[in-house]
Amino acid sequence: MRTVRLRQRRAARDPQAGMPLVAHLTELRNRVGVSLIAVLAGTALAFWWYDQGLGDFIRAPYCGLPEELRYNDAQGGCGLLVTDVFGGALIRLKISFIVGVVVSAPLWLFQVWQFLTPGLKSTEKRYGVVFVTASSALFGLGAALAYVSLSAGLRLLLGLAGEGVVVALTAQDYIGFVISLLLAFGLSFELPLIAVALNVVGVLSHDALSGARRWIFFLTVLFAAFVTPTQDPFTMVAMAAPMIVLFELAIQVARVVDRRRARRSMAESFRSVGDGEASPLDATPSRLDAEFLPADSEPAGLGDAARPA
């Protein structure tokens, strides 16, 4: 009974009412708090997982190189050098934090989308799950591609040192290199999704994307050349080629979205027309340009009076 009374006393929500600034700040605080808890939980899981195989997974591309291209310890295994006392602890915390951010990405991305949802239309809110799923999948795809191409990039770069040079990488340099490469690939694969999101909300049209296709592809190659930390042609092509494919896919998705939006707007334009009213179609015949007519013909409907003397 008490629950029923509380429901009766609660005022009806006005769908046109705006949210005050304090409510926006409270909502932002709650979303950020949930996101931080998710990231900290993922970091703690990765910190425990470091001794269970995460450290070996990070070192695998380096340890898979030929022996002349990596440092070998006294037992004949590969190793990374630590040059300060807190180096090992900081490396473990850094790797755990990055992995925690990646693992908890679906949760904090969903919080970001929920914070933006009140400013969107009801027809646009349903794309939240698709946005979170696609962004997480694209980031994971980019990071996986970077990890696969890491060994080839290291072999190419370290092989340029020539014979007689012992390459001994420090743990800080190697871990920073791996993390920067994974983040560069993962974040760059999000750019086509941003283009699709802008098209869905009506900011970017398919005509604009299609007209700028050559510039998009050129800037993608230029972007890959500057963003890849290895600066070698193999890694640049490994980033640029999938991004071009994803941008082309984004352009085709924008084509489908614009066609559906045009059909929907056309159907809605007829809803306000009554049964006894004429449709808003323009029945006036369009004029046929002379350049599309044969040389010995003339537009239909012209009589003798319309012919030049």
Instruction: Write down the residue that tokens 């323009």 correspond to.
Output: 282
The number of distinct structural domains making up the chain is 1
Q: What is the mean pLDDT of residues 150-156?
A: 80
CA 304 to chain centre: 65
pLDDT band, residue 245 (cuts 50/70/90): very high
Q: Which residue has the higher pLDDT, 108 or 67?
A: 108
Which residue range(s) make up the domain with 72?
A: 22-271
Task: Specify if 53 maps to a domain.
Answer: yes
Q: Which residue has the higher pLDDT, 293 or 20?
A: 20
For residues 193 and 106, is the Cβ–Cβ distance under 8 A?
A: no
pLDDT band, residue 11 (cuts 50/70/90): very low
Task: Specify if 121 maps to a domain.
Answer: yes
Task: Specify if 10 maps to a domain.
Answer: no
The whole-number pLDDT of residue 54 equals 81
pLDDT band, residue 305 (cuts 50/70/90): very low
pLDDT band, residue 294 (cuts 50/70/90): low
For residues 95 and 58, is the Cβ–Cβ distance under 8 A?
A: yes
The whole-number pLDDT of residue 1 equals 45
170 bridge partner residues: 81
The whole-number pLDDT of residue 123 equals 58
